[in-house]
Structure 1
Amino acid sequence: MISRYWSCRVKPGEEENYVNYLKVEILPHLATLKGFRGASIRRRDDGDFPEYIFISEWTSREAIKAFAGKEIHLAVVSEKAQKMMRSFDQEVRHYELIHSA
């Protein structure tokens, strides 16, 4: 199992729109992809722009490649989402699951 971590800062007043966008458009799309095993959205209030972390779970790097393309370390961020953001990570971090209890 591979976890894919990515974060962004959302503009004031766009928080609800951003979370709804993820729930209504992004998560249902990801659920159709082979090798996708789920995701979580986390928020941290930090200054003027809340930070959101999106963690997706995949069966393998090959499954991620089918979604993100050959350069799996690059973020996949739609133009629609970018309009709601103050900033976002250009690259993602991948972590391999070693143990879960």
Structure 2
Amino acid sequence: MWHGVTPRSKADAYTTFLEQRAVPDYRSVPGNLTVAVLRRDEGEVTHFMTVTHWESEESIRAFAGDDLLLAKYYPEDHDYLLEFEPLVQHFVVVAHANAV
């Protein structure tokens, strides 16, 4: 999971960037099972949370590199983000249900 914050005034443009650049980049990596970008507007800022599911740790490394905890940023992120959190969080899925 990755978290980022933009000014509210740039949130729509950042959403478009994520849809057109980041999501396809995640999906292009073999072993990426899903990617979801969550958005929460809060006053003058907007929070984004990217949640991905992967087949294996090796698949994550193919996307992120050898340091699995280090956040991956795109050059375009400098146009939107207020800060650059250095780390992501990893969790193991222990329960899951699909919609019927």
Partner of 2:10: 14
Partners of 2:37 and 2:23 lie apart in 1 by 10
CA distance in 1, matches of 2:12, 2:39: 12
| Aligned alpha-carbon RMSD (Å) | 1.3
Structure 2 portions without partners, runs of 5+: none
TM-score norm. by structure 1 comes to 0.87
> Whose strand proportion is higher, 1 or 2?
1
- Seen in structure 2, the aligned counterparts of structure 1 residues 12 and 46 have a Cα distance that, compared at 3 Å, is closer
Shift of 1:44: 1.9
Aligned residues: 97
| Match 1:40 to one of 36, 43, 55 | 36
* 1:67 and 2:67 correspond: no
Listed as ranges, the gaps of 5+ residues in structure 1 are none
4+ runs deviating over 4 angstroms: none
Compare the two structures and name the one with the higher helix fraction. 2
Deviation at 1:26, TM superposition (A): 1.4
